[in-house]
Amino acid sequence: MERTTLISPAEIEKQLDFCRSVARLTARWEEKPLAFVDTYGCQQNEADSERLRGFLDKMGFGFTQNEEEARIIVINTCAIREHAEQRVFGNVGALVHVKRRHPDTLICLCGCMAQRPQVAKKIRESYRHVDLVFGPQALWKFPEMVHSLLTRRGRTFSVEDEPGSIAEGIPVVRQDKIRAWVSIMYGCNNFCTYCIVPYVRGRERSRKPGDILAEVRRLVEEGYKDITLLGQNVNSYGRDLEEPMDFADLLEQVNAIPGDFLIRFMTSHPKDATQKLFETMARCEKVAPVLHLPFQAGNDRILKVMNRRHTRADYLEKIKALKALIPDIVLTSDVIVGFPGETAEEFEDTLRVLEEVRFDALFTFIYSPRPGTPAAEMDDPMPREEKLANFNRLTALQDRISEEKHAAYVGKTVRCLLDGLSDDERYDLTARTPGNRLVRVVGDPSALGQFQNVKITGANKWSLFGELV
Ligand code: SAH
Ligand code: SF4
Ligand code: F3S
């Protein structure tokens, strides 16, 4: 296995020097330097945006949600489905007016779309108001790129196809005070045939356990109560480390950090989810009783063409083993409807998995061809209306199951983390069960950030309702 490229502390120090140089420039501006960071896609991107904000903060920027006020606009994009890309193109296109009104505003596009050569080309040719384009592999050089834009002008593109590296010591400005993301690894080696992620995020590489543990320890000291370990496939954590260790070992070590907090993780790949992992989850009291385990499709032929490297039976056996160890485990999954060549009969197999496993929630997607992936070249004869009809059947079935599973909570008292203020005026707070189900709660907002017993008084297919005990 190839060893991961580490960006040296001296390189990061150099980037922080660029931050200080930019801060000296922005201090001379007449208006207060403000930044607008817009994030699309998954938690990995949220975590990256927290690092972009960390750098921007060191460059002297405050933050705004209003693009008219911003002197730098950063759009952190997602390439997972065509729809996600179209939204970004729409929003970036509209920024041409902002640029006309404020020619000095820097417009930056980064994230997974930026790493796609077709996208970079389109931005270069048709979105000339965009000043800076850089992919996830170049994020650690953001200060240098901003510095060069402010001092030399001209557009900058940093979108080389690189296998990826790890940079420690980048500052972060987190959005939340209670829940935090901690990336434990980057990239993906799996090349599921429909998926763009391995092309834009590079190869799998794991952060050193010491760096991860130190970050979690710091977060717990700062009062964070709910920590999610992030990676595209956390189950293959550690394979590239000099002293290999596996994800279950890492969980055990995070669990040993003193403090009252919950540990979650995502995403797990069924092919690498082991009995050892399930046993570790069952034993470690801080590890939340919840597993997000995408199965994508219930039919073995489709799974094979997807290059998932697990069968329907493998999947169901793993779920059975997990339920035997943790009977109240909350299970969630991802499903793709309408993969090229999926027949009506093959789709029925997906519905059967839902009936059998009874997931608490499901993230469902209609297949979207991604140029450059093998599936985009496959024959796809099923008309869109038929895919839509299948999609609707899938969500209707899941809605029924979610509603039944939520109804079973009513009357119970559950220790929940009070994690936010409710936007629904009949409730004061939002809370999460250990299994991450949303609860709207009547109670005193001063309890925010605490674990408290909540009596569940009602439920629907989306959430639970309750009151503080
Ligand atoms: N690494 C994670 C998921 C990453 S993407 C995993 O392996 O499970 C999140 C979800 O988006 C995937 O699980 C899949 O269900 C969906 N997805 C990925 N590519 C897609 C595509 N081309 N069309 C539709 N859905 C897709
Ligand atoms: Fe995409 Fe598959 Fe990797 Fe998940 S495991 S990111 S679906 S290639
Ligand atoms: Fe999207 Fe990139 Fe995440 S493609 S789903 S933001 S890894």
Q: Which ligand is nearest to the CA of 114?
A: 3
Look at residue 161 in the predicted model and tell me its pLDDT.
83
> Does residue 4 surpass a pLDDT of 80?
no
What confidence tier does 424 reach under pLDDT thresholds 50, 70, 90? Answer: confident
Residues 135, 98: contact at Cβ < 8 Å? no
Whole-angstrom distance, CA of residue 452 vs CA of residue 438: 14
Average pLDDT over residues 26-41: 95
Look at residue 164 in the predicted model and tell me its pLDDT.
84
Residues 300, 311: contact at Cβ < 8 Å? yes
Amino acid letter, residue 291: L
Decide whether any atom of ligand 2 lies within 6 Å of the 195 Cβ.
Answer: yes
Run of H or E including 282: helix 275-283
Closest atom of ligand 3 to CA, residue 80: 4
Residues 418, 448: contact at Cβ < 8 Å? yes
Give backbone dihedrals phi and psi of 181, rounded to 5 degrees, phi first. -100, 140
**For the whole model, what pTM was predicted?**
0.96
Look at residue 289 in the predicted model and tell me its pLDDT.
97
- Taking the centre of ligand 3 as the mean of its atom positions, its distance from the CA of residue 79, in whole angstroms, is 6
Closest atom of ligand 3 to CA, residue 201: 7
Run of H or E including 109: strand 106-111
> Which of the listed residues 336, 359, 373 should we mutate to test ligand 1's pocket, taking the one with most ligand atoms within 8 A of CB?
336
> Does residue 301 surpass a pLDDT of 90?
yes
> Does residue 1 surpass a pLDDT of 70?
no
Amino acid letter, residue 189: N
Look at residue 152 in the predicted model and tell me its pLDDT.
86
Q: Which ligand is nearest to the CA of 194?
A: 1
Whole-angstrom distance, CA of residue 28 vs CA of residue 219: 34
Average pLDDT over residues 200-225: 97
433-460 pLDDT, tens digit each = 999 999 999 999 899 999 999 999 999 9
Decide whether any atom of ligand 1 lies within 6 Å of the 267 Cβ.
Answer: yes
> Which of the listed residues 39, 43, 45, 194 should we mutate to test ligand 3's pocket, taking the one with most ligand atoms within 8 A of CB?
45
Average pLDDT over residues 311-330: 98
Average pLDDT, the chain: 96
Q: Which ligand is nearest to the CA of 231?
A: 1
Residue 400 CB partners (closer than 8 Å, separation 6+)? 461
Closest atom of ligand 2 to CA, residue 296: 7
Q: What percent of the chain has pLDDT over 90?
A: 93
Length, in residues, of the chain: 469
> Does residue 2 surpass a pLDDT of 70?
no
> Does residue 62 surpass a pLDDT of 60?
yes
Look at residue 5 in the predicted model and tell me its pLDDT.
82
119-162 pLDDT, tens digit each = 999 999 999 999 999 999 999 999 999 999 999 878 999 988 88
104-131 pLDDT, tens digit each = 999 999 999 999 999 999 999 999 999 9
Domains plus CATH for the chain?
A: 9-158 (3.40.50.12160), 176-288 (3.30.750.210), 290-406 (3.30.750.200), 413-468 (2.40.50.140)
Decide whether any atom of ligand 1 lies within 6 Å of the 167 Cβ.
Answer: no
**Residues near ligand 3 (Cβ within 6 A):** 41-42, 44-45, 78-80, 112, 196-197, 200-201
Residues 104, 96: contact at Cβ < 8 Å? no
The one-character DSSP state at 183 is E
- Taking the centre of ligand 2 as the mean of its atom positions, its distance from the CA of residue 247, in whole angstroms, is 17
Q: CA geometry: angle at 339 spanning 337 and 343, to 5°?
A: 85
Q: Give the tokens for residue 334.
A: 């991802």
> Does residue 174 surpass a pLDDT of 70?
yes
Closest atom of ligand 2 to CA, residue 189: 3
> Does residue 407 surpass a pLDDT of 60?
yes
> Which of the listed residues 78, 194, 232, 368 should we mutate to test ligand 2's pocket, taking the one with most ligand atoms within 8 A of CB?
232
Look at residue 336 in the predicted model and tell me its pLDDT.
98
Decide whether any atom of ligand 1 lies within 6 Å of the 269 Cβ.
Answer: yes
> Which of the listed residues 43, 80, 137 should we mutate to test ligand 3's pocket, taking the one with most ligand atoms within 8 A of CB?
80
Coil vs helix vs strand at 429: strand
Residue 467 neighbours by CB distance under 10 Å? 14
Q: Which ligand is nearest to the CA of 88?
A: 3
